[in-house]
C-alpha cells in the first residue's frame, strides 16, 4: 500500500545540480573580497609562549583572540571550545590566528613567517591514557529494578566492542564567507544550522540579534559535519570581515577538513547479559566510553543518544547503563549521521549474535523472543506509544532475503548477517520542547503562490522538495505554486537545526498543520502565518533522572547482508544487501531510496574500510587517497522496501529517515563476516588486515 | 609557483630544451598534480614544466614479429584499446585509477613516476620490458629492472626523456595479475602480484613472478623463478618453505597507512601459491 504523496517528483534543485550551474561558496565572486586562512597549532598540548608575526603588507590582516569583542567560545552545549587558542593549545590543528588578505600566495608566505613558540606539555592521546583521569561527562540510568540480590541469575556473558573515527567526507569542504555592512554582519556558507551560527556570532560579537544575518549557500553534503563545526568558520570570517572592512571568504582544503574538523566519536562498549536457569535473557548492563577529543562540542548529546539506543529493539529488563566521555588532545569529535546510534547498534546487535551462538539458537529466533511491542517501556521508561511493527518488519525481511536458508545452508567462506534497529526521530530528551521550540511560517501571495519559511537546510537530502511536497499536497495546489528557497535567519523563523532525522517529521508536521490555517484564509490576497511545534502532550522527560520519552517517536529497520570471504586475500565481497524500514509514509519514494542507498553505503564504509588513526596526535589519513571511502564498484544494488505504517503525528504519516539508514548496517555486515570466516569480530572497521590478525589469533 | 612553462613543438625541440635547462616533464600529470598542488591551488615547481602528451613522436604503438613498442606518452586507455598489446599487460593497466585517469595518464608517466605502487610495473618487469631513453646525444636502452632504484627515483639523466617501452611477445599458458586495494575502484595498491609462465610436459617453464607496493620498488624474484622452472606445480608446492624464504627475504614489505607488513607478505605469498596451483590443471 502506498500514499499518493510517495510518488516521486523532480527535485527542486535537480536542474542546477545536474547541469552544473549551481554556485557553491567557493565558486562565488566576492568583489573586493579577501581570503582567510587559519594558522594552526603544531602541538597536541602546549603553552603558547610567544607569537611573532611578520610585518604585514597593505591590505593584510591578522585576526587573533584579541579581536573578539565578547566571548572567545563556540557555544555548543558547554562553552569550553575556544574560537582561537589563547594561552594553551589542546590539539594539533587548533586555530591560533587567521591571516587575511587578497592574495593566497602571499597569505601562505606570511603564514610561513609567523613564528609561534610553545612550551609543550605531555599530551593525553589515547582513551587508555585519558581514563587515568576522571571523565568530563558521565551519565547513568536504570530501566526497571536492577537488584543483584533478587535477580535469578545462573550465568552471564560479557564482551567489549570498539569502534573508530569516521569522517563525513561531504563533497564540498567547509566553506564560509562574511560581509560587514555596519552595523550588520552577514555570514553566508555551507551549513546545516543557520541559527547555530547566529548564536555563535552573538556570543562572540555581542551584536544585537537583528544585526546578525546568516544565509545558507548551496551546500554539498553535511552528514552532521556541518551541524556544529561551521560556527567556527562563521565566527572566523565575521571577525575578519569586521576588522578588515572587506568581504572575507574561507574555504578549507580537503586535507585541512579531513585533519581538523569533527568526526564520529570513537567508542568502547562493554555489554553484560545475565541468563536464568532456562537460558532466558533476564538482565543487561552496558558500560560506554567515548573519546570526545579536546573539547566537549556535542559529545554529551551523542553520549545520551548512544546510551539510550543501547537497549536495541529488545525488552530485556532490567537494564543498567553507565556512560562516560573523556577528553584527549585530538580534534573535537562531533555530529555524524546516526549520532551514537551506529556505535550502539554495532555493539548490541553483535552481542545478540554472539549470545545466539553460545545458546545454539538461530540469531533471528533469539531476537524474536525479546522484541519490544507497542506500550512497552523505552530504555528511559518512556513508552512506545505507537504501533511497533517489528514482527511484520522481520517477516518482510525474511521473505525478501531468504535469511534463514542462507544462514542454515551457508557454504564455506560465505556468510549472512541480520540486524534489527531503531532510531529516535527528533532531538534527544525534551529538546524539541525546551530547546528548539521550532517555528515556521507560510506566506500566501496574490498570485496563489505560497512560500515556505523555515530554517531547515537543503544539504542534498532533498528537504527543499520534501517540504514543498507536503505543503503542496496539504493545500491541494501544484508543487510549482510553492516557493522554497535556501533559508536565512533574516527571512526565516527558527525551525530548528537540520539534524536528528527531524526535518520531515517535525518541521514537515508544523507546516502541514499550518496549511489548515492557510486553507481557511485562502481567499485573502496576501498574508503570512506562523506556527510552533506542538509537543505531544502525553510525552514527558526528566532530564536529571534521564526518565521519560527520550524521543517523540522512533523509526525502525532491518538489514540483511550476504558476503563471501576470500581466504587468500582476506577480502570480503558483499553479494547482497536487503533493507526494510518502517518510516511511516515515505514522502517521496525516490528520495527515500536515495537516503537508503547512501546511508547503507556510508555505513558499510564505516564497517569495512574507513579507517582514521592518529600518531602523536597527528592524523595519518589526511587525504582522500588515504582515507578510503567506498566507490560505486564496492557494493551491489541494494534491495529495499518500506512498511506501510503511517505515523499519526507525522505529516501524511511520515517518520524520520536520514540516520536510520546508516545505523544498522555495520552489525549485519559484521555478522555475515563472522559466519564466513568463523572468527568473532568485536571491532570496526573490519579491514582485511584486521581480519587476518583475528584469524591468526583465534585459530591459535 | 610555476616558474616557466615550455610547450615543445616537436620531440627534437623537447630534447634541446632538456639539454639546456632543468625541466620537469609532464606526461598526463594525474599523479604529479595531485602530489604537488597546494591549498592555494598553486603548484610548487622549481623547474620549468614541459608537457609531452601532445607530441606525435611520443604517441602510438608499433609492433613486429617479436615485440610491441609503446611510445611513452600513449594514454593508458589507448593501450587498452590496441589489439597487439598482450592481455597480461592490459589486465594490469586496466587496474590503474579510474576511467578519467586512464584517459589522461600515460605508460611513460607510470614508469618514470617510479611509485612503489605503480600498477603497470610488476607486469612490465615480468615481461622484461626494455626502455628506450633519448637525449640530443642519441638513444640508449635500459632494462626496466635496472631503471627504478628507489621510491620515485630512476636512472634517467636530466637531459633524457623516455621515448618508448618495448615488450617482447611472450608465449604463455598461465598468467595472473592481482591487485589488492582498500576498495574496488580508484584504489592505490596495498600490494600486487604478477605471474606469467608456460607449461612444458606438465612442468612449469619460463615462469616470472613480480610484486608491487610491498617494498621500496616493484621487484621480480628471479631465484624463486629459477627454483620453480622445470618442476611440476606439486613439487613446488611440496617445497613451499623454500619459496617462502626467498620471497620473505627479498620482498621487504612495509607498514604504512595503507596496510601492514604482515598482511602484505602473507597475501603476496598466498597469491603466489594460488598462481602456482593453477599450473596443476593442465
Pair B118, B235 in one domain: no
Question: Does B39 contact A255 at a Cβ distance shorter than 8 Å?
Answer: yes
> Do B164 and B181 belong together in one domain?
no
CB-based contact (8 Å) between A48 and chain B?
A: no
Q: Nearest to residue A374, comparing CAs of A189, A692, A648?
A: A648
- The answer to whether A173 and A257 are in contact (CB under 8 A) is yes
Q: What is the CA radius of gyration of chain B?
A: 19
pLDDT band at B45 (very low <50, low <70, confident <90, very high): confident
What are the DSSP calls for A95-159, one per residue? Answer: EEEEEEES-HHHHHHHHHH-EEEEEE-----SHHHHTTS--SEEEEEEES---TTT---SEEEEE
CA distance A232 to A95: 9
Using the predicted structure, report yes or no on whether residue A509 has a pLDDT greater than 60: yes
Q: What is the pLDDT of residue B3?
A: 67
Question: In chain B, which residues have their Cβ closer than 8 Å to the Cβ of A628?
Answer: 182-183, 187
Which of A568, A608, A610 to probe by mutation at the B interface, max B CB count within 10 Å? A568
- Mean per-residue pLDDT for A199-221? 98
Residues of B in contact with A631 (CB under 8 A): 183-186
What is the structure's pLDDT at A77?
A: 83
User: Residue range B158-177: average pLDDT?
Assistant: 97
Using CB atoms, pick whichever of B41, B185, B262 lies closest to residue A631: B185
Residues of A in contact with B186 (CB under 8 A): 631
Residue A198 is predicted with a pLDDT of: 98
**Domains held by chain B: number:** 2
Question: What pLDDT does A351 receive?
Answer: 98
Cβ atoms of A426 and A550 within 8 Å: the answer is no
Residue A245 has pLDDT above 60, yes or no: yes
> What's the start-to-end Cα distance of chain B, in Å?
59
Same domain, B51 and B144: yes
Cβ atoms of B250 and B211 closer than 8 Å: no
Of B168, B202, B227, which one is at a domain's C-terminal end? B168
Give A605 to chain B, closest Cα distance, Å: 10
- Tens-place pLDDT, residues A145-176: 998 788 888 999 999 999 999 999 999 999 99
> Each residue of A30-57: pLDDT tens digit?
999 999 999 999 999 999 999 999 999 9
Instruction: Note the pLDDT of residue B44.
Output: 75
Tens digits of residue pLDDT in A323-337: 999 999 999 999 999
B162 and B202 together in one domain: no
pLDDT band of A435, cuts 50, 70, 90: confident
Q: Which of B3, B101, B257, B268 to mutate: most A Cβ within 10 Å?
A: B257
Same domain, B21 and B147: yes
For residues B96 and B9, state if they share a domain: yes
B267 closest CB neighbour out of A570, A621, A626: A570
C-alpha–C-alpha distance, residues A606 and A598, integer Å: 12
User: pLDDT per residue over A622-669, tens digit each?
Assistant: 999 999 999 999 999 999 999 999 999 999 999 999 999 999 999 999
* Shortest distance, CA A109 to any CA of chain B (angstroms): 11
Average pLDDT, chain A: 97
Residue B237 lies in a domain: yes
* CB nearest to A620's CB, from B34, B188, B257: B257
Question: Which of B41, B182, B271 is the closest to A628 by Cβ?
Answer: B182
Last residue of a domain, one of B168, B198, B222: B168
Contact: A626, B39; criterion CB under 8 Å: no
Are residues B120 and B45 part of one domain? yes
Of A255, A569, A687, the CB nearest to B271: A569
CA distance B96 to chain A (A): 13
Residue B249 lies in a domain: yes
For residue range A98-113, list pLDDT tens digits in order: 999 999 999 999 999 9
- Contact map slice: A 565-624 vs B, CB within 8 A: 567-571, 609, 613, 620-621
Give the percent of chain A with pLDDT over 90: 95
E-assigned strand segments in chain B: 4-5, 23-26, 48-51, 61-63, 67-71, 130-135, 138-143, 148-150, 153-154, 161-168, 174-180, 191-200, 203-212, 219-220
Q: Which residue of A has its CA nearest to B40?
A: A104
Q: What is the CATH architecture of A276-428+546-698? A: 2-Layer Sandwich (3.30)
pLDDT at B37: 80
Question: Is there a domain that residue B282 lies in?
Answer: no
What residue numbers bound the domain in which B157 lies?
4-168
Q: Average pLDDT, stretch A300-328? A: 98
CA–CA separation, A260 and A237 (whole Å): 17
Q: What is the CB-side half-sphere exposure of residue A380 using CA atoms within 13 A? A: 27
The residue among A176, A181, A232, A185 whose CA lies nearest residue A208 is: A185
Residues B148, B24 within the same domain: yes
Mean pLDDT of A588-595: 97
Q: Where are the domains of chain A?
A: 29-122+168-260, 276-428+546-698, 431-532
Q: What is the pLDDT of residue A539?
A: 92
Mutate which: B45, B183, B187, vs A, most A CBs within 10 A? B183
Q: Burial level of A618, CB count in 10 A (0-12/13-18/19+)?
A: middle
Tell me, what's the pLDDT at B281?
64
Q: Which of residues 250-289 of A touch B (CB under 8 A)?
A: 253, 255-256
B88 and B127 both lie in a single domain: yes
d(CA B147, CA A380): 68
Query: Are residues A626 and B40, on separate chains, in Cβ contact within 8 Å?
Result: no
Last residue of a domain, one of B152, B168, B184: B168
Same domain, B220 and B263: yes
Q: Do A569 and B178 touch (CB under 8 A)?
A: yes
pLDDT at B2: 62
Residue B40's pLDDT band, with cuts at 50, 70 and 90, is confident
pLDDT at B282: 54
Mean pLDDT across the stretch B215-234? 96
Least CB-CB distance to B270: which of A569, A609, A625? A569
Please tell me the number of Cα atoms within 13 Å of B87 on its side-chain side.
7
Residue A1 has pLDDT above 80, yes or no: no
Identify all chain A residues contacting B101, using CB atoms and an 8 Å cutoff: none
Please state, in angstroms and rounded to a whole number, the distance separating the CA atoms of residues B12 and A507.
69
Q: Do domains A29-122+168-260 and A431-532 have the same CATH topology?
A: yes
Query: How close is the nearest chain B Cα to the Cα of A566, in Å?
Result: 11
- Reported as type and span, the H/E element at residue A17 is helix A14-18
Region B111-140 average pLDDT: 97
B58-97 pLDDT, tens per residue? 999 999 999 999 999 999 999 999 999 999 999 999 999 9
Task: Judge whether residue A373 has pLDDT over 80.
Answer: yes
**Residues of chain B contacting A687 with CB distance shorter than 8 Å:** 182
| Whole-angstrom distance, CA of residue B230 vs CA of residue B232 | 7
Interchain contact, B257 vs A692, CB within 8 Å: no
Q: Which of A256, A568, A628 sits opposite B271 (nearest CB)?
A: A568
Q: What is the mean pLDDT of residues B111-121?
A: 97
Q: What CATH number does domain A431-532 carry, 3.20.20.140, 3.30.365.10, 1.10.10.10, 3.40.1160.10?
A: 3.30.365.10
Q: B268 contacts in A (CB within 8 Å)? A: none
- B228 and B162 in one domain? no
CATH code: domain A29-122+168-260 is 3.30.365.10
Does any domain span residue B253? Answer: yes
The answer, yes or no, to whether residue A284 has pLDDT greater than 80, is yes
Looking at the complex, report in whole angstroms how far the Cα of residue A242 sits from the nearest Cα belonging to chain B: 24
Q: What is the CATH number of the domain that holds B119?
A: 3.30.465.10
Find chain B residues with C-beta within 8 A of A568's C-beta.
267, 270-271, 274
Query: Which pLDDT score is estimated for B36?
Result: 83
pLDDT at residue number A78: 85
In this complex, do B263 and A692 lie within 8 Å of one another by their Cβ atoms? yes
pLDDT at A92 over 70: yes
Specify whether B153 is located in the same domain as B180. Answer: no
**Closest by Cβ to B184, choosing from A256, A631, A687:** A631
Q: How far is CA A118 from CA A90, A97, A355, A615, A651, in A?
A: 12, 15, 52, 20, 56
> Is B47's pLDDT higher than 90?
no
Residue A270 half-sphere exposure, CB side, CA atoms within 13 Å?
10
Whole-number pLDDT of residue B33? 84
Amino acid at each position: 500500500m502506498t500514499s499518493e504523496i510517495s510518488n516521486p517528483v523532480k527535485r527542486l534543485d535537480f536542474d542546477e545540480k545536474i547541469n552544473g550551474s549551481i554556485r557553491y561558496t567557493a565558486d562565488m565572486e566576492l568583489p573586493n573580497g579577501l581570503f582567510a586562512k587559519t594558522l594552526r597549532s603544531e602541538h597536541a598540548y602546549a603553552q603558547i609562549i610567544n607569537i611573532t608575526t611578520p610585518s604585514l603588507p597593505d591590505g593584510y590582516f591578522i585576526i587573533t583572540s584579541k579581536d573578539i569583542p565578547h566571548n572567545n567560545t563556540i557555544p555548543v552545549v558547554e562553552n569550553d571550545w575556544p574560537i582561537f587558542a589563547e594561552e594553551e593549545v589542546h590539539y594539533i590543528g587548533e586555530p591560533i590566528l587567521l591571516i587575511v588578505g587578497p592574495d593566497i600566495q602571499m597569505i601562505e608566505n606570511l603564514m610561513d613567517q609567523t613564528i609561534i613558540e610553545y612550551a609543550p606539555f605531555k599530551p593525553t592521546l589515547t582513551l587508555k591514557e585519558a581514563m587515568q583521569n576522571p571523565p568530563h561527562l558521565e551519565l547513568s540510568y536504570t530501566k526497571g529494578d536492577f537488584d543483584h540480590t533478587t535477580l535469578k541469575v545462573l550465568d552471564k556473558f560479557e564482551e567489549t566492542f570498539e569502534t573508530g573515527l569516521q569522517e563525513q567526507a561531504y563533497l564540498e569542504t567547509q566553506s564560509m564567507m562574511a560581509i560587514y555592512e555596519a552595523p550588520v554582519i552577514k555570514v553566508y556558507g555551507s551549513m546545516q544550522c543557520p541559527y547555530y551560527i547566529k548564536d555563535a556570532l552573538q556570543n562572540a560579537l555581542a551584536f544585537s540579534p537583528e544585526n546578525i544575518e546568516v544565509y545558507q549557500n548551496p551546500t554539498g553534503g553535511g552528514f552532521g559535519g556541518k551541524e556544529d563545526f561551521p560556527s567556527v568558520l562563521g565566527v572566523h570570517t565575521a571577525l575578519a570581515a569586521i576588522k578588515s572592512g572587506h568581504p572575507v571568504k574561507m574555504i578549507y582544503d580537503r586535507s585541512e577538513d579531513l585533519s581538523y574538523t569533527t568526526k564520529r566519536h570513537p567508542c568502547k562498549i562493554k555489554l553484560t547479559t545475565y541468563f536464568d536457569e532456562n537460558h532466558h535473557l533476564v538482565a543487561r548492563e552496558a558500560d560506554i566510553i567515548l573519546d570526545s577529543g579536546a573539547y566537549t562540542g556535542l559529545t554529551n548529546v551523542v553520549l545520551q543518544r548512544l546510551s539510550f539506543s543501547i537497549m536495541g529493539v529488545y525488552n530485556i529488563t532490567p537494564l543498567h547503563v553507565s556512560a562516560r566521555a573523556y577528553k584527549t588532545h585530538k580534534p573535537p569529535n562531533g555530529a555524524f549521521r546516526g549520532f551514537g546510534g551506529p556505535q550502539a547498534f554495532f555493539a548490541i546487535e553483535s552481542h545478540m549474535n554472539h549470545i545466539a551462538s553460545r545458546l545454539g539458537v538461530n540469531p533471528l529466533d533469539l531476537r524474536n523472543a525479546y522484541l519490544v511491542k507497542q506500550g512497552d517501556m523505552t530504555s528511559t521508561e518512556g513508552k512506545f506509544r505507537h504501533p511497533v511493527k517489528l514482527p511484520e518488519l522481520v517477516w518482510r525481511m525474511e521473505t525478501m532475503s531468504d535469511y534463514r536458508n542462507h544462514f542454515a545452508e551457508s557454504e564455506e567462506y560465505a556468510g549472512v548477517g541480520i540486524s534489527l534497529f531503531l532510531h529516535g526521530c527528533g532531538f534527544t530528551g525534551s529538546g524539541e520542547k525546551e530547546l528548539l521550540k521550532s517555528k515556521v511560517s507560510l506566506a500566501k501571495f496574490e498570485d496563489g503562490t505560497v512560500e515556505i519559511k523555515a530554517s531547515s537546510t537543503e544539504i542534498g537530502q532533498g528537504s527543499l522538495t520534501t517540504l514543498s511536497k507536503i505543503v503542496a499536497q496539504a493545500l491541494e495546489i501544484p508543487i510549482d505554486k510553492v516557493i522554497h528557497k535556501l533559508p536565512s535567519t533574516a527571512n526565516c523563523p527558527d525551525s530548528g537545526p537540520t539534524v536528528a532525522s527531524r526535518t520531515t517529521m517535525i518541521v514537515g508536521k508544523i507546516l502541514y498543520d499550518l496549511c489548515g490555517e492557510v486553507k481557511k484564509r485562502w481567499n485573502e490576497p496576501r498574508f503570512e502565518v506562523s506556527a510552533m511545534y506542538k509537543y505531544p502532550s502525553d510525552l514527558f522527560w526528566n532530564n536529571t533522572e534521564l526518565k521519560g520519552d527520550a524521543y517523540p517517536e522512533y523509526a525502525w529497520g532491518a538489514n540483511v547482508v550476504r558476503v563471501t570471504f576470500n581466504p587468500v586475500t582476506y577480502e570480503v565481497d558483499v553479494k547482497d544487501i536487503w533493507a526494510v524500514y518502517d518510516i511511516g509514509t515515505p514522502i517521496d519514494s525516490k528520495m527515500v531510496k536515495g537516503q537508503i542507498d547512501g546511508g547503507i553505503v556510508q555505513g558499510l564504509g564505516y564497517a569495512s574500510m574507513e579507517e582514521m588513526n592518529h600518531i602523536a596526535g597527528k592524523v595519518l589519513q589526511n587525504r582522500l587517497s588515504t582515507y578510503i571511502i567506498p566507490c560505486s564498484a564496492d557494493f551491489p544494488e541494494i534491495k529495499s522496501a518500506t512498511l506501510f505504517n503511517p505515523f499519526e503525528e507525522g505529516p501524511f504519516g511520515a517518520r524520520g529517515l536520514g540516520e536510520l539508514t546508516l545505523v544498522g548496517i555495520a552489525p549485519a555486515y559484521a555478522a555475515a563476516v563472522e559466519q564466513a570466516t568463523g572468527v568473532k569480530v568485536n571491532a570496526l572497521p573490519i579491514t582485511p588486515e584486521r581480519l587476518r590478525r583475528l584469524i591468526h589469533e583465534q585459530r591459535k | 609557483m610555476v616558474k616557466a612553462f615550455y610547450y615543445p613543438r616537436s620531440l627534437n625541440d623537447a630534447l634541446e630544451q632538456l639539454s639546456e635547462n632543468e625541466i620537469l616533464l609532464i606526461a598526463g600529470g594525474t599523479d604529479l598534480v595531485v602530489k604537488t598542488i597546494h591549498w592555494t591551488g598553486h603548484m610548487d615547481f622549481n623547474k620549468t614544466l614541459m608537457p609531452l602528451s601532445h607530441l606525435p613522436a611520443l604517441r602510438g604503438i608499433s609492433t613486429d614479429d617479436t615485440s610491441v613498442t609503446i611510445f611513452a606518452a600513449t594514454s593508458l586507455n589507448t593501450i587498452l584499446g590496441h589489439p597487439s598489446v598482450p592481455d597480461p599487460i592490459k589486465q594490469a593497466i586496466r587496474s590503474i585509477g579510474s576511467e578519467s585517469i586512464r584517459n589522461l595518464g600515460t605508460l611513460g608517466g607510470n614508469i618514470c613516476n617510479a611509485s612503489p605502487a605503480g600498477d603497470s610495473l610488476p607486469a612490465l618487469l615480468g615481461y622484461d620490458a626494455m626502455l628506450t631513453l633519448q637525449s640530443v646525444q642519441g638513444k640508449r636502452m635500459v632494462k626496466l629492472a635496472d631503471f627504478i632504484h628507489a621510491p620515485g627515483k630512476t636512472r634517467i639523466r636530466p637531459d633524457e626523456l623516455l621515448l618508448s617501452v618495448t615488450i617482447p611477445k611472450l608465449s604463455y599458458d598461465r598468467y595472473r595479475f592481482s591487485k589488492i586495494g582498500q576498495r574496488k575502484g580508484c584504489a592505490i595498491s596495498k600490494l600486487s602480484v604478477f605471474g606469467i609462465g608456460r607449461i612444458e610436459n606438465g612442468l612449469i617453464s619460463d615462469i616470472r613472478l613480480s610484486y608491487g607496493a610491498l617494498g621500496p620498488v616493484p621487484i621480480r624474484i628471479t631465484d624463486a623463478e629459477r627454483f620453480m622452472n622445470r618442476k611440476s606445480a606439486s613439487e613446488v608446492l611440496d617445497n613451499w618453505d623454500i619459496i617462502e624464504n626467498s620471497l620473505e627475504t627479498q620482498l621487504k614489505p612495509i607498514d604504512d597507512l595503507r596496510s601492514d607488513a604482515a598482511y602484505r607478505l602473507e597475501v603476496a605469498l598466498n597469491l603466489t601459491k594460488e598462481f602456482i596451483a593453477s599450473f596443476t590443471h593442465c
